[in-house]
Amino acid sequence: MRLERVASRDDPRLDAFRDVRDRDRRQAGEFLVEGEVPFRVQVARGRHPTRAVLLAEGREEKLGDALARLPDETPVWVLPQREMDAVVGFAIHRGVLAACSRREPESVDELVSSLPDDAVVVAALSVVNHDNVGGVFRNAAALGARAVLLDGVTCDPLYRKAIRVSAGAALFVPFAREADPRALFAILARGGYHVAALSPRADARPVSSLPRVGRLALVVGAEGPGLDGAVMRAASSVVRVPMVAGFDSLNVATALAIALYERATAR
């Protein structure tokens, strides 16, 4: 670990961390991890390499054990909180940022075919809210899903807020993207996955009917519009979480958590 105090906020070595809000849009090859919990997950379990760390003065001791796990060649730049805020572009109370490099993405085909015969995966279609994407990854990690599959519309799980909401799960749960849901379903069918679409519609089967064995893909859509008719017709089954009369919807991450729990406890 190369811990070095930075004399000036204008130091060009800090450019990866500069004006973070302007850099939050998806950028090929890089992303930022913000906050203590995601940072600890990144150094302990992250699938993507850490290039550099920006640390507020006074955080060295608290994060010392995590910093010690970094490769020797990874620089850790320390500067006063006020200077760090000036570099980042806002008051960053969490005190630590890590600049990371995205690993080469896997294809959906490679990922799902590599999983065990009883694997559960999640497919997120048109989920464009970063909080929901973070919740999907957190639930996937907590309840045993082996991967998350994304269509071309679903937002980037390596966006800072999505990582933070996921409690760092987006950093280690494998994911892959296939732009066309029809192609995604075809890949899952070839891999022997039962594809279960989650929907609140009244004619859906209860979530307790999910198969207890074999490969399973749970498909979720955006809140509001949900999954379109073509997707549900292509699925092996359509399931719903039973609710009290007069109320028919749950947050997408909550509904997914119930379905994952149902499968886990059934087994």
What pLDDT score was predicted for residue 266? 74
Does 3.40.50.720 match the CATH number of domain 108-266?
Answer: no
| DSSP-assigned letter for residue 158 | T
| pTM of the full structure | 0.93
CA distance 208 to 204: 11
CA distance 66 to 128: 32
Hey, which bits of the chain come out as E strands? 2-5, 30-34, 50-56, 75-79, 96-101, 120-125, 147-150, 175-177, 194-198, 205-206, 216-221, 237-240
What pLDDT score was predicted for residue 19? 85
CB 160 within 8 A of CB 34: yes
* SS3 assignment for 27-43: ECCEEEEECHHHHHHHH
Q: Which CATH number fits domain 2-101: 3.40.640.10, 3.30.70.100, 3.30.9.10, 3.30.1330.30?
A: 3.30.1330.30
CA distance 10 to 7: 9
Q: What is the largest CA-CA distance in the chain?
A: 65
What is the average pLDDT score of the chain?
Answer: 92
What pLDDT score was predicted for residue 1? 64
Reported confidence tier of residue 32, pLDDT bands at 50, 70, 90: very high
What pLDDT score was predicted for residue 28? 62
- Measured distance between the N- and C-terminal CA atoms of the chain, rounded to whole angstroms: 44
| 27 pLDDT higher than 80 | no
Reported confidence tier of residue 2, pLDDT bands at 50, 70, 90: confident
List pLDDT tens digits, range 120-172.
999 999 999 999 999 999 999 999 999 999 999 999 999 999 999 999 999 99
CB 161 within 8 A of CB 131: yes
CA distance 79 to 12: 14
Three-state SS at 226: strand
- Give percent above pLDDT 70 in the chain: 97
For residues 1, 63, 157, 74, the Cα torsion angle rounded to the nearest 10 degrees is -10
Domains 2-101 and 108-266 share a fold: no
Give backbone dihedrals phi and psi of 209, rounded to 5 degrees, phi first.
-85, 0
Which of 92 and 169 is assigned the larger pLDDT? 169
Q: 28-42, 164-178, 235-249: which has the highest mean pLDDT?
A: 164-178
What pLDDT score was predicted for residue 23? 64
Segment 230-255 shows an average pLDDT of: 89
Segment 53-74 shows an average pLDDT of: 93
What pLDDT score was predicted for residue 9? 87
Segment 42-67 shows an average pLDDT of: 94
Any idea where the domains of the chain sit in the sequence? Answer: 2-101, 108-266
Segment 241-258 shows an average pLDDT of: 88
Segment 69-94 shows an average pLDDT of: 92
| Alpha-carbon radius of gyration of the chain | 20
| 61 pLDDT higher than 70 | yes
Segment 90-102 shows an average pLDDT of: 90
Using the structure block, give the residue that is written with the tokens 């990866």: 16
What pLDDT score was predicted for residue 119? 97
Number of other residues whose CB lies within 10 A of the CB of residue 218: 27
Number of other residues whose CB lies within 10 A of the CB of residue 236: 16
